Chains A and B, each alone.
Chain A
Amino acid sequence: MASRDIKFLVKDLKKATIEGARTACVKIMNDLVKAGPAYSGDFSASWYALAPGKAAGGPRSSTGLYNYTLRNVPKTKFKEAGLYTIVNTSSYANEALDLVPYSRPTEELEERKNLGKNIDVGGRSPGNTRGQITGDGGATSSAPADWWSTFGVGGGLDKSLKKGFIRGFLTFGKAQGFGS
């Protein structure tokens, strides 16, 4: 039976909490990729988990839907207020998140990649958001309208956070001899 001295408890709990938070970030970002739209894969590769006071890096290259791992979430210290902020750095993030009306891109787009998303085709009136497709037309949408709001406040985020955190916390705890 594995054991560990009680004097390490606070230190181990802090480390386990950080690992829980890091794993939660990975789970959340992968679930955002799953729930969100994808045209070329660039938007899916633009999620960043930022430690307090840190800035996001440059755009990542992606040939498909991006798969996040712990390498994408920097280690941080427990003492700062808050642990991580998840942001999307794509230049058209607000449109992809349905926060502003859709604007036609100024540059010519490549052909849409087949990234395994269900594609809705229809009309998008001026003033409509990315996901507001109705009737006939040539506009496309690969995620439901208001997917971001639904994920964020409709329970998806809570579920990803809970599952990811527990997974990371327990994995670290077991490695240190707890629960054996």
Chain B
Amino acid sequence: MNYQAIRAAVENPLLTAFGSLSPAVPVFFDNITAVPANTTTEYVRVNVTFGITNEATLTSSVDNARGAVVIRVFTEKGKGPARNQTLLTTAVNVLETLNNTAKTNSGVFFRVGDINGPTFSATEDAPMFMGRIDTGYVATVIS
């Protein structure tokens, strides 16, 4: 099992997609503490979690993992959802592209399921407007 390769399979394309925007939007991943407190600048947070590894019934391969990808987009509060939704679309496009990528002879074969959301919240305590999507994934490490 190569958890790092699985994580990279989804994190790298997201980082590239948000980095290619003009202006680039910073993306923060698990165990990155650099999101500034009380920031008013938009950013994206991506959390990849692992659920079940090597579920025997999933495929003929035993080197597989299931989990969740949670993407939260933070944009300016009080300005409507348009900008947030635009950035969420970037994330959804990346997930769709992953699903359209052909299986190769090596590396990680990564597929996401239904995408839940987006849901939005702008609570009093939170400095930013948050849009959230999540999806399950199945990843197979091909060696």
Contacts and interface: CB of A to CB of B under 8 A. Distances in A.
Interface string B102-143: 000000000001001001010111111010101111000000
Interface in B56-88: 66-68, 70, 74
B58 to A, nearest CB: 8
Nearest to A100: B121
Contacts of B136: 152-155
B51 A126 contact: no
A119 B57 CA distance: 33
Interface stretch (A24-32, A110-118, A142-150, A169-177): A142-150
Contact of B130 (A103, A127, A152): A127
A126 B37 contact: yes
Interface in B36-68: 37-39, 47, 49-52, 55, 66-68
A156 B49 contact: no
Contacts of A104: 125
Interface of B: 31, 33, 35, 37-39, 47, 49-52, 55, 66-68, 70, 74, 113, 116, 119, 121, 123-128, 130, 132, 134-137
